[in-house]
Amino acid sequence: MNHINPKVGIVLINWNSGVKTIHCIESIQKPESFQYEIIVIDNGSKDGSLEKLKARFPDLRIFENKANMGFVGACNQGLKYFLEKQTPYCILFNNDMIADENWLRSFVAAADRYETSDILGSTIAFKNMPRLYNSTGVVMNFSGYCWDRDFGEYVDDVKRQTGEVLAVSGGSMLIKTRILSRVGYLDKDYFAYYEDLEFCLRYRRILNGNITFVSEAKCFHEYSGSSSSVPVFRYWLTVRNFWINIAKTFSLSMIWRYYPRILWDRLRGEIRNRIRNKQYKFLCIEIVSIVLFFYYLAKNVKMFFAKDYSKNYEHLLVQSQGYAEINISHIEKESKQKWKSY
């Protein structure tokens, strides 16, 4: 790893998961044609992660945060570091990913080839179910729900080709650092969740550029499966950021057309279920998040009148309303088969 003048910088975020981070770094194959540097941003780990990483990789550059800065804050540290070093490409890579042997080489080759694409994403499959896609890009509908394209679909059934997509996952995202001076960094209002979608749409709005999915750049994501109990803080982030994202990425005309339906779906679905199941903490989160929507709407009012907020990507939204359109039947099937094999 060349720390002096790398062509590519790779940013990994670690928080109490040193073993995963070590496995992730070990999976990244060294290319022969260019130099790269990996850095780790540690978000105040208390599990001995730093000691493990330093022992395994003595030359690894680690930024040690005293507190958890969130995914957004930590990623921005890495982006700023590589922008200051004038590194052309910066890759945000989740530490629970395993890179295919050609992941980095294919990613960089595509970035060189697609000169008008300043953001690129890779093929993400499930680590424990490699026949299934985790993501081939991110899509959003007119109700503000976003999801990973092809989530849970068989790789052999859906043979995605390299091409344009609305947005890509921040779990494996290549950013050309030349855009950061105009587009800015990840939005700190998010902390975690939805920040990758907002960044991609902001890039489209400001620079009217392309975002490319790269099928040849493959990696594998550790999938923890569904949980019957959702941590309150995670639920807070996902619900709050759902409304923040609408306030920040929908045009005034889109909000005028679709907000009543979005609110009705939320009241009819989530809020009714929380009342029925006596989940009052989650109910409070839903209500507070709806109120916060108007706060963030007011914060963005100047942008609304500056230009059509979504003119560069509205045509790429999924032409539907309602909840995310994902298929989990294949995941359930593969999970059962894997369980039976033990």
Tens of pLDDT along the chain (342 residues)?
A: 555 679 999 999 999 999 999 999 999 988 878 999 999 999 999 999 999 999 999 999 999 999 999 999 999 999 999 999 999 999 999 999 999 999 999 999 999 999 999 999 999 999 999 999 999 999 999 989 999 999 999 999 998 999 999 999 999 999 999 999 999 999 999 998 999 999 999 999 899 999 999 999 999 998 754 344 458 999 999 999 999 999 999 988 889 999 999 999 888 888 888 999 999 999 999 999 999 999 999 988 777 666 555 667 888 888 776 766 677 776 767 665 543 332
Q: What is the model's pLDDT at position 231?
A: 86
CA nearest to 146, candidates 170, 167, 172: 167
8 A C-beta contact, residue 309 and residue 250:
yes
Q: What angle do CA 77, 78, 79 make, to 5 degrees?
A: 95
Reported pTM: 0.91
Task: Give dist(CA 110, CA 162) in Å, integer.
Answer: 9
Q: Which residues pair with 218 in a beta bridge?
A: 123
Q: Per residue in 183-203, is it b (16+ CB within 10 Å) or e — as a string?
A: bebbbebbbbbbbbbbbbbbb
Contacts of 294 (CB under 8 A, 6+ apart): 247
Can you tell me whether residue 283 is helix, strand or coil? helix
8 A C-beta contact, residue 71 and residue 36:
no
Q: What is the model's pLDDT at position 304?
A: 65
CA nearest to 120, candidates 133, 109, 107: 107
Q: What is the model's pLDDT at position 342?
A: 27
Q: What is the model's pLDDT at position 31?
A: 85
Q: Which residues pair with 210 in a beta bridge?
A: 117
Q: What is the model's pLDDT at position 228?
A: 40
